Amino acid sequence: MFRYFTINAENHLVELNEEITFTKNYARIISYRYPAVSIEFDESLQYTTHCRVCPFSIQPLVENAIQHNQHGTDSSLKIMIFRQDNYIAVVNNLLPVETVSTKKGLTILQKRYQLICGKKIIIKKTAAFFQVLIPVVL
């Protein structure tokens, strides 16, 4: 994971499959710490070519879902990552915990995409799910 960071720290965009591999590595570590958290990837994302995203854009969304939702013996958190048209969707069931949120992570991600791609991320919240759609650059 550290190698990915050092290689891509100054890159504006990375191949989608590289970002997915990085996030899968993070998910593997998280699975040991939080066994009640399920992180599912659409396997076709791993083989997608000629699609780029901002580096370090998917993993922080997974981290936010874990931080802001319950997960334990009484409740399990399910995070799904898949392609939806020209976006990558990161969706989790909503099991909110009482935390103080500055929403800085989403704000920073929104600004990065606006500056680099001229596109906006889409944030949707319902009673059951929280979803963030990040644009894919073709």
Q: What domain range is 53 assigned to? A: 2-135
Reference 80, options 89, 72, 69, 71; nearest CA is 89
Q: What is the pLDDT of residues 24-77, one digit of tens each?
A: 999 999 999 999 999 999 999 988 889 999 999 999 999 999 999 999 888 899
Q: Give residue 1's pLDDT band: very low, low, confident or very high (50, 70, 90).
A: low
Total number of domains constituting the chain: 1
Q: What is the value of pTM for the model shown?
A: 0.92
Cβ-proximal residues to 37 (8 Å cutoff; 6+ apart), any chain:
30, 31, 66, 71, 76, 77, 79
Which tokens in the block code for residue 94?
């909503």
CATH of the domain at 50: 3.30.565.10
Reference 70, options 106, 34, 120; nearest CA is 34
